[in-house]
Structure 1
């Protein structure tokens, strides 16, 4: 079985396809100066782009983990953006975790897996 890598770099690929499964690396906002809501919009746009490159879409999401740096301050805003974006007929399994991210400016990161 082949492995296809999307946007590979020296440390990681943004997505990896193996069999009928697409694994996305953690996606963060391009503009870390935005509030959590704006960052989440950018994260989800990146996920849409990567899924499209892989030949699938958000209706095929299997699982997602949402990392938020401050649940008390930002969880409601992150959920509003997620709820407006997600395919309501095909929601993935999801977990949300408060975590310190690699850069203090990042407020949210999402990792997900999808079927082809």
Structure 2
């Protein structure tokens, strides 16, 4: 199977496609709150999935990192408004120290084409 990389940088690619599977680099958003960062990051997920030729209805798995697990409900409110309710993916959420203190949430998405 071929491997296609899109938006390749010195440390990572934004998108890697292997066969019919799309892997996105971790996505963080802009804003001061978890809600704002979730909305921003998930909008970027939508854009990257479209660039790869797929969409959120084909998301297979999402791993979500929160800098503070007390914001789980806030993140879920945005997630539930975004996710395709007929095609919810496998999902895991955990607390982690993110790349900078400004980041409150990060999404790692795997999807089918």
Shorter-chain TM-score: which interval?
over 0.9
Aligned to 2:54: 56
**SS at 1:96's partner residue?**
strand
Q: CA deviation at 1:77?
A: 0.8
Q: CA deviation at 1:6?
A: 1.5
User: TM-score, normalised to structure 2's length?
Assistant: 0.97
Task: Say whether 1:6 aligns with 2:6.
Answer: yes
The RMSD of aligned alpha carbons is 0.7
Q: CA deviation at 1:34?
A: 1.9
Aligned to 2:20: 20
Aligned to 1:110: 107
Q: Which runs of 5+ in 2 are unaligned?
A: none
Q: Which runs of 5+ in 1 are unaligned?
A: none
Q: CA deviation at 1:5?
A: 1.0
Quote the Cα distance in structure 1 between the aligned partners of 2:11 and 2:100. Answer: 16
User: TM-score, normalised to structure 1's length?
Assistant: 0.95
Quote the Cα distance in structure 2 between the aligned partners of 1:22 and 1:48. Answer: 13
2:37 paired residue among 39, 43, 59: 39
**SS at 1:105's partner residue?**
coil
**SS at 1:102's partner residue?**
coil
Residues 8-37 of structure 1: per-residue CA shift (max 9 Å, x gap): 1000001100100000110011x2x42000
Which stretches of structure 1, 4 residues or longer, exceed 6 Å deviation after superposition?
none
Q: Number of residue pairs matched? A: 113
